[in-house]
Structure 1
Amino acid sequence: MPDATGADGLTVGQVSARLGVTVRALHHWDEIGLARPSLRTAAGYRLYTAGDLERLHRIVVYREIGLGLDRIRAVLDDSAADVPGALREQRAQVAERIDRLQQLSAGLDRMIDAHERGLLLTAEQQAAIFGPRWNPDWPAEARQRYGDTTQWRQYAERSASRDPEEWQAIADAVADLDRALGDAMDAGVPPGSPEANALVERHREVFASYFPLTRQMQVCLGRMFEADPGFAAHYDGIRAGLATWFRRSVDASARAHGIDPDTATWQ
């Protein structure tokens, strides 16, 4: 519908452009009696007077600070309305939203850092939690190697919400598992035995602190622990030959669950 013109008022389109509100909003406010134009053209088009425009200005301001339309109506039309009280109440609500948004922003910052760095701990915290043999460059190397994988994203999202105490609990669980693996090997526990299978299950539970680990993925990890010089050095540093014993134990457990270790893939 084209804008009508009138010497005594502004058309809907003109008011819309001047106040930055939609024509649809102006029509709605008219329909609910919040801001009705005082004039009409002979053809029935709405015309807003200077007084109408002043009321609309106030509606726009109150809406911008978050008041609902019913509250705006009360503020504008109820002579007994406590306008300062309504504004203070709204200010308190805005302050709460700002606080929530600041917390959200801080959470997003941690999530971004976790995706980019992996471990949100200082070098000193890492050494205190993971021990003097820990290399603080390892998280960056892991990001470079695995950063495009689903598992890195899962690890980063969990890392973003963890504090040093939670990482300490995970490090303690890993250390306890390593000791249990070494003790089992010393005791001559054979791969495929109930004792060895229980340790394989425990490894999956502990490793799930980083990302969900399927049995097939665990088989792949067992191979890597044996073949990769860094991982092999870690396990063989606990007990000579432990990397191979653990890989054989993982393979035996996988076979017991119908998985062929020779064809297992990372899935």
Structure 2
Amino acid sequence: MAKKIKEVANIAGVSVRTLHHYDEIELLSPKKTADSGYRLYTDENLETLQQILFFKELGFPLKKIKEIISSPSFDRREALKLHRKMLIEKRRRLDQMITTVEKTIQHSEGEIYMSNKERFEGFDFSHNSYEQEARERWGDKTVDESNAKMGNMSKEEKNDLSAGMNSIYTKLAALRHTSPASEKAQAAIKEWYDFLNKIGSYSLDAFKGLGQMYVDDERFTKNIDQFGEGLAKFMCDTMAIYADNNKK
């Protein structure tokens, strides 16, 4: 059942002003309008709000959250798994910091000796690797560029693109039992690299990373292995070799 803004604020524990702000920056806008003119939030809106608050709790700025959840490749279920992973890590660090505080109190009272190294256990000001993972999955500019190019193609062009893709997959599938470093395998994977750069902009590092996703993400693996069991792994290895060889 659709809800008014005040109801949503009470449910989520945020202010009405916060929800108005999210609406203004087009991060979260009510999807329905009642006969009375009130703008109403749907269950889908509430799911999105939950995602926003999870990302916000983990230190993501609103601009980055908007980029992530509006990406065509954003997956709610994958996002929840990432939230869990990040929160477990955050809990681990907080537990460590609580221990450090308790030991510092004991040290100040003369109960224990605390080394200088122990004073700073739990602090971590390094780059957030999970934020990078989220950005790579759902905020990647390459994905947006590819989707934009695809959207401007005619039906005939899209059919030609699909045929070209299937042709390369079929060729690689026939080679999947050979060495990924072989001349034929590397020539075939070059065709894939060139093909991808017709619809996007892939650096060699991005190409290698994409290959890794073929085996890390079961959705990629399942789709690619339709052309031949083990093809995803073969492509991953072949793409890595191609990227490394051509960066020299």
TM-score by length of 2: 0.43
Flag the structure with larger Rg. 1
Question: Does 1 or 2 have the higher relative contact order (CA < 8 Å, sep 6+)?
Answer: 2
TM-score by length of 1: 0.40
